[in-house]
Structure 1
Amino acid sequence: MPPRKGTLSGQVSDADLRLLRIYKKVVECGGFAAAEVDLNISRAAISMAINDLETRLSLRLCQRGRSGFALTDEGREVYESSLQLLAAVEGFRTRVNSLHEWLKGELNIGITDNLVTMPEMYITDALSALKERGPEVRINIRMKPPREIELAVMDGRLHTGVVPTLETLPGLHYRSLYEESSLLYCASNHPLFGAEDVAQEQLGRWDAVIPAYAQIPEIKLKHEPLKAAASATDREGVAFLILSGRYIGYLPTHYAQRWVEAGRMCALTPQACRYVTRYSAITRKGGAPNRVLDAYLEELVRLTTD
């Protein structure tokens, strides 16, 4: 009996996987134009690939044109299914590679923004040691918000991640990694710059930038006395607003150090206006054996316990 019209006939081929990877990137970038750089192919080639995929699946996946890019209902379903399929393919590759005596395969790691300036170079040094042990290992870093990293590790799209320890999810294992200190800062063109000690009630009179990302209750308490006049979704956004000279705000000390040393920022009442954020390396509980991931974690543990 011939296949029904609108069904996927035959086997899923390498060509199909390539089309799905292109489609996945287009969805995550929000359109053809934005995906050009990441995919390193032309917009015309991307359009042709999506047309081929739609023909292969007999489905309309997305609307594109003057009104912009938008997924159809079927397109959203195909995207979610492609995440599962590509994760399974990567899992198969990882398990097969683990049969070899040498390290070979990929390490997909998600990292929260602005950790590269941490003085303890645990992640950098562990990646260097991993590359020394397995020169053919391919390392892929994804910079994502913490919750996206946790979900991606849980569903297998990422092998591991580094996130602030806000609340632990039951499906993940957390390894303590960093303790990050943050202080309240203002810029050199702010009226409070250089003040030796500022009373808490006086600080509350000045416009402040408040983080729009998740924080534990103890850190939220530090922001409550401030006058919330702006928000930012990451630490770079907080730094932009502080450097405008119009706002005060909290930043990690390692991240603000460059501006402090240049005389462009100073900390305000550092004894009282201080908090600590703890970071953990996360992996999925009960994940498939992965020699590349195991080697990376071995190096990370060695560095953090030396």
Structure 2
Amino acid sequence: MSKHAPMGLPGDAELRLIRIYRKVVECGGFSAAEVELGISRAAISMAMKDLETRLGLRLCQRGRGGFALTDEGAEVYQASLQLLAAMEGFRTRVNGLHAWLKGELNIGITDNLVSMPEMHITHALSALKDRGPEVRINIRMIPPSEIERGVLDGRLHAGVVPALKTLPGLTYLPLYEETSRLYCAAGHPLFLADPITAEQLAEHDAVVPAYAQSPTIKAQHEWLNPTASATDREGVAFLILSRRFIGYLPTHYAERWVLSRQMKALNPEAWHYVTRYSAITRKSGPPNLVLEAYLEELNHLISGHSRAR
């Protein structure tokens, strides 16, 4: 594009276009963004052309070859995340000057924790809404590494991740201990076998996690024959239920299939491990009454659960 004058501070019109652009990038194209944005593909296309004209940059390639960001488009996307996060931080801080809770709480959560029996996250969110009915809650189900990055750069106010490592810029609040066991499905050769040796396990195909694990957890997979992998626990469950694979699942997540006799834990006393989960927040973050209220409710629930043990 031709030489363009430096851009001034974005106004409401530019912010609207930037929000549309962010959603298009996160959806991977115009068509997928239609449903999320609630506007037509033609309107999205016009908005993208308008934003490119205002910025003087070509942001993306679109056409028969599909949707793809240009180098400049990728830079603008990252800048848009910082801009919108800073605006939300400003709004949350100003709203914190009032006596009531108002603003957003953006949380990143690791997949398949909703069936944890303690339900600390769910109950804390409910209590937060009691204290601030106008609080808007946004949950993103994403991998732990993305949650950590989101909390560190301010896109997320809090996250829930497995406590595999600690990063210096984050504060950790212990939440859960999750037990996982080795399962097979009804119809698998090991379903009726008892007892089962490690050598027998190695004779059968296994699905292993493609996400980070602690050395202790990795050791539990050493006896397995890894012929498949999955990026989340739902993917592991899919393959186990195919009756062709064995694999580890959290007990609370597998319970529905165990109760219906579709799955069985193999040598549960021997083949199991524990994963600890923590709520994370950024150290020395800006004042945020919504986040503080949520953490207060979490701490209250955790303390009550500990006393009840």
Superposed pair shares fold, TM > 0.5? yes
Q: Aligned residue for 1:25?
A: 23
Aligned partner of 2:94 in structure 1 is 96
Write the mapping of 1:7-86 to structure 2, written as runs, cut at 5 A: 7-86=5-84
SS, match of residue 261 in structure 2 = coil
Following the alignment from structure 2 to structure 1, what is the Cα–Cα distance between the partners of residues 162 and 132? 29
Q: Distance in 2 between matches of 1:258 and 1:214?
A: 26
Task: Letter of the 2:296 partner, please give it.
Answer: E
Report the equivalent of 1:272. Answer: 270
The total of aligned residue pairs comes to: 303
Which letter maps to 2:90? F
Alignment counterpart, residue 196 of structure 1, candidates 189, 194, 207: 194
Post-superposition shift, 1:81? Answer: 1.0
Name the CA distance, whole Å, in 1 between partners of 2:245 and 2:146.
29
Structure 2: how far apart are the matches of 1:11 and 1:123? 38
Q: Compute the displacement of 1:7 (Å).
A: 2.8
Counterpart residue number, 2:180: 182
Matches within 5 A, 1:104-115: 104-115=102-113
Equivalent position of 1:287 in the other structure: 285
Q: In structure 2, the residue corresponding to 1:228 is in which secondary structure?
A: strand
Give the gaps of 5 or more residues in structure 1. Answer: none
Residue in structure 2 matched with residue 144 of structure 1 by the alignment: 142
Distance, in Å, in 2 between the alignment partners of 1:6 and 1:99 is 40
Q: RMSD of the alignment, in Å? A: 1.1
Secondary structure at the aligned position of 2:183 is classed as strand
Work out the CA distance in 1 between the residues paired with 2:223 and 2:208.
11
Letter in 1 for 2:279: A
- Write the distance in 1 (CA, Å) between the matches of 2:42 and 2:164: 43
Matched position secondary structure for 2:302: helix
TM-score of the superposition, structure 1-length normalised? 0.97
Contact 1:8 1:56 (C-alpha < 8 Å) held by counterparts: no
Distance 1:152 1:91 in 2: 14
Q: Which residue of 1 aligns with 2:153?
A: 155
**Structure 1 residue ranges (4+ consecutive) displaced by more than 4 angstroms after TM superposition:** none
Partners in 2 of 1:156 and 1:282 — Cα distance? 12
Q: Give 1:194 shift.
A: 2.9
Structure 1 residue 151: deviation in Å? 0.2
Q: Give me the whole-angstrom Cα distance separating, in 2, the residues matched to 1:226 and 1:193.
A: 16
Assess if the C-alpha contact under 8 Å between 1:238 and 1:249 holds in 2: yes
| Structure 1 SS opposite 2:300 | helix
Amino acid at match of 2:46: M
